[in-house]
Chains A and B, each alone.
Chain A
Amino acid sequence: VKAMRDDLHVLTGSYVLDAVSDAEREEFERHLYHCPTCEAEVRGLRETAARLALACAMTAPARMEQQVLAATYRTRQLPPLPARRSRRERRRVQAGRALPRRLAVLAAAASVAAAVALGITELTAEHQLDQARATAIARVVTAPDARVETARTSAGGSVTVVASAALREAVVSTSGMASLPSSRVYQVWVMSPSGARSAGLMHGGSLLAAVRPGDRIGITVEPAGGTARPTTTPVAVLPV
């Protein structure tokens, strides 16, 4: 465990430079929850990275200003999150005691219809989505251009995809699919004309995938740990 933590700690730099994969980012953010030293270091390094950005400031094209300002009049703002909890309280959240509050956060962030469609409340209870992920998911499901697709799967149950073309992100969630032996997993793919790219393993929860218009989402049954390319016929394929 010690070795793994050291290894994760070294990731602070790559994390603030966005040089990690989505999976590593999630793992690292979970780690940050328990590691005050890492969190403090991340703060300092984030400010440092911001200096790197400030150092390459350029005058933006003049037309941008009017376009952005005009867009603000058409764009609804996100409500604030509840006050941040102290570390001890957060740990309690981890232990699952403050769940109703987290559900309230999610319900406020996501529209009720979308939350129900996604079964997010259930997901949160089961999988303790961390705040960052919940926010990312809420961002997609509340996007003005969010589109919802649901399909039954050949493994029973259904899969729902909420996608935002503007954000180029989709939230994939499943419910009621047949449980698999421990040697098999459901793997989610983003399928485009150039091939299929793994969006991660579905552990009965939901996951975020980077998508582009015209992509499709597919789910296959694969050996535990997942594969680089789909090796079986998808149990479901949905448009984005």
Chain B
Amino acid sequence: MSRPEIRQLQPEPAPPPDLAALLGQVARGDHQAFELVYAELSGPVYGVVRQVLRDPAQSEEVAQEVLLEIWRTASRYDPDRGSAAAWALTIAHRRAVDRVRAENACSRREQKAAEPEPAEDDVAETVAATLEHQRVRRCMDGLTGLQRESIKLAYYGGYSYPQVAKLLGVALGTVKTRIRDGLIRMRDCMEVTW
């Protein structure tokens, strides 16, 4: 048998579910639709929370809160304003950072902030070689060192931009500019359209 025929026998990869439509169903109280949303988002939600918080138990707790929040506030998702994944992952990252700041207030992480763990390849370590990961990686490589470090410390490290400025020993204005310029470059490199 020739190769093309064999290929035809292979199952088509399932198309990714339409998250925006699913969230609409979730907003109407559809538990089955929520299971599909859970299947799609629990990995990225847990991953980003874990990236910021590090502690597995705490990450699990926060990720659960986030996923329940997605159930609770599904009616507030507005497809005109962005993708469903971005909406959900914004909630996830924000919650993780809120948790970091709450801890900071109790001065536990302040000491850690003074001597940050090397942030280099945490991402690669935890992540399967997904397509998305490779793409992000490649686009990260296209940034200047300062842009890359600023974005990593802010997003994956959960640091505020003044903390990032202190860690990198640069002026506040510089960090704000580098984060923005770097993200814009990432956006163009990954051909994000919104």
Among A10-18, A111-119, A148-156, A219-227, the stretch that binds chain B is A10-18
Residue pair B83, A135 in contact (C-beta under 8 Å)? no
A77 at the interface (CB under 8 A from B): yes
A67 at the interface (CB under 8 A from B): yes
How far in angstroms is the closest Cβ of chain B from A70? 10
A210's nearest neighbour on chain B, judged by CB, is B102
Bin the interface of chain A by size: 35 or more
Residue pair B161, A14 in contact (C-beta under 8 Å)? yes
Residue pair B126, A58 in contact (C-beta under 8 Å)? yes
Residue pair B43, A48 in contact (C-beta under 8 Å)? no
Our pick among B64, B85, B158 for the contact of A64 (Cβ within 8 Å) is B64
Given A51-B132, A51-B136, A57 and B190 touching (CB < 8 A)? Answer: no
Which B residues touch A50, using CB under 8 A? 83, 85-86, 89-90
B81's nearest neighbour on chain A, judged by CB, is A43
A47 at the interface (CB under 8 A from B): yes
Residue pair A84, B78 in contact (C-beta under 8 Å)? yes
The interface bits of chain B over 161-185 (1 if a CB of A lies within 8 angstroms of the residue's CB, else 0) are 1001000000001011101111110
How far in angstroms is the closest Cβ of chain A from B169? 17
How far in angstroms is the closest Cβ of chain A from B58? 12
Residue pair B194, A60 in contact (C-beta under 8 Å)? no
Which B residues touch A216, using CB under 8 A? none
Chain A, range 40-84, C-beta contacts under 8 Å to B: 41, 43-61, 64-65, 67-69, 71-73, 75-81, 84
Which B residues touch A210, using CB under 8 A? 98, 101-102, 105
Bin the interface of chain B by size: 35 or more
Given A49-B86, A84-B80, A58 and B68 touching (CB < 8 A)? Answer: no
A49 to B126, CA, bound (A): 18
Among A10, A60, A67, chain B packs the most CB atoms within 10 A around the CB of: A60
A17 to B92, CA, bound (A): 11
B109 at the interface (CB under 8 A from A): no
Residue pair A47, B86 in contact (C-beta under 8 Å)? yes
Which B residues touch A16, using CB under 8 A? 90, 183
Residue pair B135, A49 in contact (C-beta under 8 Å)? no
A69 to B56, CA, bound (A): 20
Residue pair B183, A45 in contact (C-beta under 8 Å)? yes
Chain A residues with CB under 8 Å of chain B are 10-14, 16-21, 41, 43-61, 64-65, 67-69, 71-73, 75-81, 84, 135, 139, 166, 168, 190, 192, 194, 197, 210, 212
Chain B residues with CB under 8 Å of chain A are 27, 29, 31, 34-35, 38, 42-48, 50-51, 56, 60, 63-65, 67-68, 71-76, 78, 80-83, 85-86, 89-90, 92-94, 97-99, 101-102, 105-107, 123, 126-128, 130, 132-133, 135-137, 151, 154-156, 158-161, 164, 173, 175-177, 179-184, 186-187, 190, 192-194
24 pairs from A and B in contact (CB 8 Å cutoff): A14-B175, A14-B179, A14-B180, A18-B94, A19-B160, A44-B194, A47-B192, A48-B183, A49-B86, A50-B86, A53-B44, A53-B89, A53-B93, A55-B132, A55-B135, A55-B136, A56-B123, A57-B43, A58-B46, A58-B47, A60-B46, A69-B34, A80-B76, A168-B98
